[in-house]
Amino acid sequence: MSGFDDIYRENILDHYRNPRNHGTLESPDITYEDANPLCGDLIRMDFKLKDGTIEQVRFSGHGCAISQASASMLCERVEGMALEEAKKIGRDDVLEMLGIELGPVRLKCALLALKTLKAGVYGIQQWPGEEEESTR
């Protein structure tokens, strides 16, 4: 089995080809866009909030399969989730959803969606996981 089969698992390709929660929202409560300057990946997320939960979320943008698949998986996961709970999602949760291991460059692709979510909803500007990294 060669390496790219490891990375481009069927679930990733499936989310990449048929992204869930893809698109934009009419009048979102929050719109946030973030990019990875290294590779030009760009993700925009629109949120509708209600009673402390993420009622609706849609993403758009462009980028590699990893960045787009992780956005799709993340949106699917957080729609309907309490804001308090969504805030707890971290780097490892995203990697677990993707089910792969990634080197430092591709890791940013995988985490762009989560970074966009956290910056948009909670105003947290750091790359997920970077807080831990900086003390090592």
Partner 1 sequence: MTFVSHRHPAGAGATAPVQTFDPQAVRAQFPIFREPRARPLVYLDSAATSQKPDAVLEAMGRYYSTFNANIHRGIYQIAEEATAAYEDSRRRVARFIHAGSPREVIFTRNSTEALNLVAHSWGRSRLEAGDAIVLTVMEHHSNLVPWQLLASERGIELRFIPVTEGGELDLAALPRLLADGRAKLVSVVHISNVLGTVNPIPEIARQAHAAGAVMVVDASQSVPHCPVDVQALGADFVAFTGHKMLGPTGIGALWGRRSLLEEMPPFLGGGEMIREVKLTGSKWNDLPWKFEAGTMPIAEAVGLGAAVDYLESLGMEAIFTHDRELVAYAMERLREVPDLEILGPPADRRGGVVAFTLDDIHPHDVATVLDADGIALRAGHHCAMPLHERFGIPATARASFYCYTLPEEIDALVKGLHRARQVFAR
Q: Which residues bind partner 1 (CB under 8 A)?
A: 2-8, 13, 16-17, 38-42, 62-66, 106, 109
Instruction: Give whichever of 54 and 109 is closer to partner 1, judged by the CB atom.
Output: 109
Instruction: Give whichever of 8 and 127 is closer to partner 1, judged by the CB atom.
Output: 8
Residue with token string 């949120």: 47
Q: In sequence order, what E strands does 51-136 have?
A: 53-62
Which pair of structure tokens corresponds to residue 83?
């804001």
Instruction: Give whichever of 1 and 26 is closer to partner 1, judged by the CB atom.
Output: 1
Smallest distance, partner 1 to C-beta of residue 6, A: 8
CA dist 105 and 93 (Å) reads 18
- Distance from the Cα of residue 55 to its chain's centroid: 17
Smallest distance, partner 1 to C-beta of residue 68, A: 8
